Chains A and B, each alone.
Chain A
Amino acid sequence: MPRFTPKTVTANDLRSGDAVWLTADDRWSPNHHDAELIEDEAHAQLRLLHAHRQGQIVVGAYLADARQGPAGPEPVHFREEFRTRGPSNYVHGKQAERA
């Protein structure tokens, strides 16, 4: 079996559609750095189950690869990185709120 690589639980906010991440204290944050970095596979499955029960807050929860960075967990794959930022053709989405 391949070794388990660290994950976050991510989804989209039901109302706005914005990308969100599950935090260790059961909030959904629009900021990837706030995410709970899950290092253990069994725990990951539990957290994903928890997320699936939050259908009134979020849509389409899944596990995404992540790694620890200086300011908190960071995405590994470019798709997840785009989700932390927004589209590349306009300063819209999260990058606009940050600016």
Chain B
Amino acid sequence: MYRYSDFDEAFTRARVAQFTQQVERRLSGALTEDEFRPLRLMNGLYLQLHAYMLRVAIPYGTLNSRQMRQLAHIADTWDKGYGHFTTRQNIQFNWPKLGDVPAILTALADVEMHAIQTSGNTIRNVTADHFAGAAADEIADPRPIAELLRQWSTDHPEFQFLPRKFKIAITGSPNDRAVTRAHDIGLRMVRQGDAAGFEVIVGGGLGRTPMIGQIINPFVTVDDLLPYLEAILATYNEAGRRDNKYKARIKITVFENGLDAFRAEVDRRFAELRPRFTLNRAFLAEIEAAFAPPAFRNAPVDAHLLALGNPAYADWAQTNLTEHRNAQYAIVTISLKAHGETPGDASSAQMRVLADLAQTYGHDELRISHEQNVILPHVHKGDLPAVWAALTEAGLATANVGLLSDIIACPGMDYCALATARSIPVAQALATHFRDLGLEQEIGALKIKISGCINACGHHHVGHIGILGLDRAGVENYQITLGGDATENAAIGERAGPGFAYDQIVPAIERLLRAYLDVRADAQETFADAFRRLGPDPFKEALYGTAARDAA
């Protein structure tokens, strides 16, 4: 796994020292809030409804056991014994006191972590396919490039005050698990002959104006990648609108200027910039070596095959395991979506179990997925029964990955100051309701995504079923979108119709899903497939038919 260079170490320590003084000056009264606010946001510190929140970056979603234990230590020492993993491969602590934040940042720096550029109009934490380096369907591990991007973007002098925040996602696999088409820039590894390069997608984003990114260049070589991205950022930095915060994201710049004009300007700048960049091959090779796959074991997998006789184990294996590039290994997704719990939350005790398992059985690697789960990317199949037993004991063996209750939910009005409604309790209620009905397995693959306001941090637009919480005349109201898709076939869901009250949203989703069970061709046809085949009408009828008839 990649280790910080001396430069990173010095930079992070210097930033902690700086921010420590800034906090002292704020507390002593030497800095006003107007002066302090941008400084705290540069260091990932937000003020929410009930407390401060510290957002910590997990670059390309990769952690080792020592880092996970330190997160547990922070949760116990300065927070309320848990952390919240988010859709951007960050962890958020919801209850830090302002005066404690310097100590937390020091504890993070001790394990090569930080909260830099997790906020503000900068290039944010670069997110990556959470199965990177392990997936059977992958061309190559995209994380060395993600690391290159991290180094390039961190404290980049020209890009600290962009028109708006800037999010980059990268995948090395044709099956997009990183939602690259809903990012400001998405990078998808492709091959041309022997050369690996990237398809560059630009102008995707969710929020108030959801847009699917467009391909600005079908193939950029690894050598050209940094100058090409620099050219996109420089074009956006100049052409992006600073007069209106709602029109400031690159998606609007591309949309208003047209992709062709935008591309022409990027190409012009690229021609200028290209000679100034030389990719240091030796340096990239060093990074690549640091991400080299672990020494895979050659051992019998009988224990796993035997355990499949246990139905609970078999269920879990069915939903929570993914094919690994090494046939003796599996990728284990650990669900942070136990029915009735908060999606993405892990207690400090659970974090320590995860760290122990990674150390004992997982080549010391952990991943955080944008779907708010934790992954052990490399587990030998012979060890799976032991891993499952330990997870079961820790309440972490929920067999629901990819099913209805594997819901993405943003913090919503339980924490977020921008929220217009709650999201977490809706996710909790949906999970327990369908479990109690016994319908979850029957319904099968389904992505429900919930946001507590139009900013769409919960990715509701790209959920098969999206739920958006709004404030309608002082009452929580939930709008449903249908037909979204977060994969390589990305699509923005369509609004189904008027919203539902807080106590009506679960019954509405039940009507919707019962209609799906009625109309699907067979048990293999997923909700998303049935929607694609039939269009919205049968589902709208299920949602509104009765109400409309009653009103008539």
Contact = CB atoms under 8 A, between A and B. Distances in A.
Interface in A56-70: 56, 59-60
Interface stretch (B316-324, B420-428, B432-440): B420-428
B50 A15 contact: no
A87 B98 contact: no
Given A60-B47, A89-B342, A89-B425, A17 B52 contact: yes
Interface string B277-299: 00000000000000000000000
Interface string A75-93: 0111100110011111011
B414 A76 contact: no
A18 interface: yes
Contacts of A93: 50-51
Nearest to B26: A14
B118 to A, nearest CB: 17
B415 A15 contact: no
Contact of A15 (B33, B98, B345): B98
Nearest to A80: B49
B533 interface: no
Given A55-B32, A87-B50, A89-B428, A16 B97 contact: yes
B330 to A, nearest CB: 31
A83 B50 contact: yes
A18 B51 contact: yes
A82 B416 CA distance: 11
Chain A contact surface mostly: loop
Interface string B20-62: 0000001101001100000000000001111110000000000
Nearest to B415: A87
B33 A55 contact: yes
A16 B51 contact: yes
A88 B414 contact: yes
Contacts of B99: 15
Contact of B98 (A14, A79, A82, A94): A14
Interface in B145-165: none
Interface string A1-34: 0000000000010111111000000000000000
A18 B29 CA distance: 19
Nearest to B49: A83
Contact of A92 (B95, B97, B424, B428): B95
Contacts of B95: 92
B33 A59 contact: yes
B50 A17 contact: yes
Interface string A30-61: 00000000000000000000000001100110
A60 B40 CA distance: 14
A64 B414 CA distance: 18
B475 interface: yes
Contact of B414 (A16, A18, A60, A89): A89
Contacts of A78: 413, 471, 474-476
Given A14-B98, A93-B50, 15 more contacts: A16-B97, A17-B97, A19-B49, A19-B50, A55-B33, A59-B33, A60-B33, A78-B474, A79-B471, A82-B49, A82-B413, A83-B49, A88-B414, A89-B345, A89-B424
25 contacts: A14-B26, A14-B27, A16-B98, A17-B48, A17-B51, A17-B97, A18-B50, A19-B49, A55-B33, A56-B29, A59-B47, A60-B33, A60-B47, A76-B474, A78-B471, A78-B474, A79-B413, A79-B419, A82-B422, A83-B50, A87-B50, A92-B50, A92-B80, A92-B95, A94-B50
Interface of B: 26-27, 29, 32-33, 47-52, 80, 94-95, 97-99, 342, 345, 413-415, 419, 422, 424-425, 428, 471, 474-476
Interface of A: 12, 14-19, 55-56, 59-60, 76-79, 82-83, 86-90, 92-94
- 9 interchain residue pairs of minimum CB distance: A87-B414, A17-B51, A17-B52, A93-B50, A56-B29, A89-B342, A89-B424, A88-B425, A59-B33
